[in-house]
A and B are shown apart, each in its own frame.
Chain A
Amino acid sequence: MNFVSLICSAALALAACQTDSAKRDDAPAKQPPAGSVGKPEAPVQVDAAVGTSSARVTVRFDQAATGLDVRASGADGLAVQGDGVLARGTSVAAGETSTFDVAFTPGPGQSMLVISVRGTFAAGERITVRAFPVGKPSAEQANKADAGTTQIGNERVKLLPAEEVKK
């Protein structure tokens, strides 16, 4: 491990941390470690090995927790089979890892599997939400970058509707 991989372990990098050694070799000579910058969350690390219709979800608990509620849901058309409840009201010890198998029907193009971990940790109730892409983006999804932009003056604008307020 190194400073770079420590950065990678922050929530914002997640999957990118699989490339620790390559990052180490490429590290600039004067690169300071970046600050932790994410919002407060539950002290857990959520990972998933995602297939075309199922996923193995791993949750590592950095602190002991009670009243755990682990749920799977879908977005962008993905439908989780069953009620999506992976754990309810359970307790774990610090350092414990739980594994869950989730079956789903993917949405068109790229959809996402969403895992929510909620529980009472040392400092009270906290939640962490992580999502995992399933499938490849459709042509329509891939072209979303330019959708809905308009030229206003000399700049490109993502224009949204306003409603007139009648008094």
Chain B
Amino acid sequence: MMRGFPIAAFLGLCVAVGACGGGSSGGGPPGDVRSLTGTITFDKVTSTTAGLNYSAIVQRPVRGADVSVVEAANTTNVLGSAVTGNDGRYSLTWPLTGPASVKVVVFARTSSPKIFVEDNTSGSAIYAIASGTVDATSTTTLDLNAPSGWTGSSYSARSSAPLAVLDAATQAVLAFRAVRPAVAFADLHINWSANNAPIGRQSDETQAQAYAAGHIGTSHWNGTALYILGKADVDTDEFDDHVIVHEWGHYFESTLSRSDNPGGPHGAGDVKDPRLAFGEGWGNALSAMVWSPNTVYSDSSGTRQGQGFGFDLEDNTSSDPVPGWFSETSVQSILYDLFDSGSNEAFDGVALGLGPIYDVMTGGEKNTTALTTLYSFIAALKAANPSQAAAIDTLTRYRNVVGVPIADAYGTGETVDGGYPANLPLYRSITVGSGVGLTLFNDAPNALSQNRYFRYTGNGASHTVSIATGSSDDVDVAVYQKGALQAFANGPTGTETTQPFTAASGVEYIIVVTGFGTSASYTTTVTLN
């Protein structure tokens, strides 16, 4: 069984913009004004795990978008503005003395919160759709639809694409506002373009030039903005609702919560650094929460957008071949099961909904002195929901994701080792002047076996951290306090020392050692000086 959002949730935006059924900035009583009312919709092409289904195009309302009426002969002359309601309805008025020959322009932009869908290959111009010229002396109702532009074999103008992207982000906003109406979202700029291709930054390009050329690599959040693929016959994501919300989830982490995710390639079935596992699992789980009851993540690509793949967030087994706290798939399954009712799963006796998850993501998870992992999230969730603690433990113990009930943010007592006993304990202690030996194993630098954590509580003294590696393997080290980098050493060798940092008295610092070595196994010694 799955959880859906009540229709009242969608009224939240109406309240926010004061424009259900159409708002207006025009003044004066009826008779003194010209007016246009109507409904704005866009073509939504259905995304499936086998690609886009152009036989299943539906019209969805454009929700909470800015709409203006402009003089047809001079589009710089804005006569009136409003905001669409959640049903897509708008109402525009402007003085009777104003022009009657007008156009209606609907922006791919919401005002509350401010979400902008822009073309990164056209100088970040905001997208909008526009009507033809309308004679307002004879027309008072105007319904508009943004077509997909699909001709059966290719696209013409892709009018609905930016509005589909906006809609997915709006859906995420509404999901949170349904349970926590006061959420203050940061401005969000989403860059979508028909030129956005899975091309990496070229050697002769700056990052800005790469974005301007549509060389975005893949759909991603770069810390300040979202970039979404749009290259037809290659990879488009504008109609892949779950993909967009996955990326929106990274925006959420950056602006309202916190992510210590180290980055790098990853995939389901990997044994990864738990910071990465949590971040990626969060994005996938959130996509299913937001689009519940549609729990199937789907991503289309290829010629005529005719191929795709996907996975069901309700699947705790086949999509998670190596369960554990280091598995992004385990994380996403747990997070989604915390949200949904779980009445169809004996191990899932929790049904928290999105509200308590929001509370932890913006509270305990954001402020943890540990790194952001499944442990920090679950520890905070159990503390905030003590009556659910036993059921949460049952869920996290399912398939031995954790070996013992999660007792704190540091994974204390963990027994599931991800294949190497040296992966435990998750956090080690370190004292000044005493070298601690570590064993690392050849794998990607963001693998669990290449990352080790230490805890240290400061006393006001200044420190450096040194690493000494006997082999030729490269090892780096970084020091964090609540996720903020304090010092690091990231040279090309395994023997180096960080810059000095002052460890405030009574404040906990986390030292992260990351191996880049290719020896099957190798050792390094870490010293806090």
Interface, chain A (partner B; CB < 8 A) = 1-4, 6-7, 9-19, 21, 24, 27, 29-43, 45, 62-63, 73, 75, 112, 114, 116, 118, 121-127, 129-133, 137, 144-167
Which of A31, A32, A112, A152 is close to B76, meaning CB atoms less than 8 Å apart?
A152
Indicate if the CB atoms of B302 and A116 lie closer than 8 Å. Answer: yes
CB distance from A146 to the nearest CB of B (A): 7
Fill in one digit per residue for B264-284: 1 if any A CB lies within 8 Å of its CB, else 0. 111111100000100110001
Knowing A75-B233, A157-B105 are in contact, say whether A123-B491 is a contact too (CB < 8 A). no
CB distance from B6 to the nearest CB of A (A): 28
Indicate if the CB atoms of A150 and B307 lie closer than 8 Å. Answer: no
Interface, chain B (partner A; CB < 8 A) = 39, 41, 68, 70, 75-78, 104-107, 118-119, 121-123, 125-132, 142-147, 157-159, 162, 195, 197-203, 205, 207, 210, 212-213, 215-223, 227, 231-235, 237, 243, 246-247, 250, 253-254, 259-270, 276, 279-280, 284, 297, 299, 301-303, 307-309, 311, 318-322, 329, 444-446, 474, 476, 478, 480, 483-485, 488, 490-492, 499, 514, 516
Indicate if the CB atoms of A164 and B143 lie closer than 8 Å. Answer: yes
> Which residues does chain A contribute within 8 Å of B284, judged by CB atoms?
40
Which of B77, B301, B320 is close to A127, meaning CB atoms less than 8 Å apart?
B301
> Which residues does chain A contribute within 8 Å of B311, judged by CB atoms?
123-124
Given contacts A29-B499, A121-B267, A164-B143, 4 further A-B pairs with CB under 8 A are A4-B490, A149-B125, A161-B159, A165-B143
Knowing A7-B263, A158-B122 are in contact, say whether A36-B446 is a contact too (CB < 8 A). yes
Give CA–CA (A150, B263) in the complex, Å: 39
Number of contacts between A and B (CB, 8 Å)? 315
> Which residues does chain A contribute within 8 Å of B260, judged by CB atoms?
35
Give CA–CA (A29, B500) in the complex, Å: 11
> Which residues does chain B contribute within 8 Å of A40, judged by CB atoms?
246, 267-268, 280, 284, 297, 299
Which of B129, B243, B246 is close to A159, meaning CB atoms less than 8 Å apart?
B129
Indicate if the CB atoms of A62 and B485 lie closer than 8 Å. Answer: no
CB distance from A51 to the nearest CB of B (A): 15
Indicate if the CB atoms of A37 and B263 lie closer than 8 Å. Answer: yes
Give CA–CA (A150, B162) in the complex, Å: 16
Indicate if the CB atoms of B235 and A129 lie closer than 8 Å. Answer: yes
> Which residues does chain A contribute within 8 Å of B119, judged by CB atoms?
158
Knowing A112-B234, A122-B321 are in contact, say whether A162-B264 is a contact too (CB < 8 A). no
Give CA–CA (A129, B232) in the complex, Å: 12
Indicate if the CB atoms of A161 and B127 lie closer than 8 Å. Answer: no
CB distance from A40 to the nearest CB of B (A): 7
Knowing A39-B246, A130-B198, A149-B122 are in contact, say whether A162-B145 is a contact too (CB < 8 A). yes
CB distance from B241 to the nearest CB of A (A): 12
CB distance from A74 to the nearest CB of B (A): 9
CB distance from B291 to the nearest CB of A (A): 15
> Which residues does chain B contribute within 8 Å of A13, judged by CB atoms?
200-201, 217
> Which residues does chain B contribute within 8 Å of A9, judged by CB atoms?
264-265, 444-445
Indicate if the CB atoms of A165 and B144 lie closer than 8 Å. Answer: yes
> Which residues does chain B contribute within 8 Å of A29, judged by CB atoms?
499
> Which residues does chain B contribute within 8 Å of A45, judged by CB atoms?
265
Give CA–CA (A13, B41) in the complex, Å: 36
Give CA–CA (A46, B393) in the complex, Å: 40
Which of B205, B264, B499 is close to A6, meaning CB atoms less than 8 Å apart?
B264
Residue of A nearest to B59 (CB): A165
CB distance from A3 to the nearest CB of B (A): 5
CB distance from A68 to the nearest CB of B (A): 13
> Which residues does chain A contribute within 8 Å of B212, judged by CB atoms?
145
Give CA–CA (A145, B124) in the complex, Å: 9
Q: Jot down 15 A-B pairs with beta carbons below 8 A, ordered by A.
A: A12-B200, A15-B201, A24-B491, A35-B250, A39-B299, A40-B280, A43-B265, A62-B267, A148-B122, A151-B75, A151-B76, A156-B126, A158-B125, A162-B146, A167-B143
Knowing A6-B264, A38-B220, A40-B280 are in contact, say whether A1-B516 is a contact too (CB < 8 A). yes
> Which residues does chain B contribute within 8 Å of A1, judged by CB atoms?
445, 474, 476, 492, 516
Indicate if the CB atoms of B130 and A161 lie closer than 8 Å. Answer: yes
Indicate if the CB atoms of B75 and A123 lie closer than 8 Å. Answer: no
Indicate if the CB atoms of B279 and A36 lie closer than 8 Å. Answer: yes
Give CA–CA (A31, B485) in the complex, Å: 7
Which of A3, A32, A39, A124 is close to B243, meaning CB atoms less than 8 Å apart?
A39
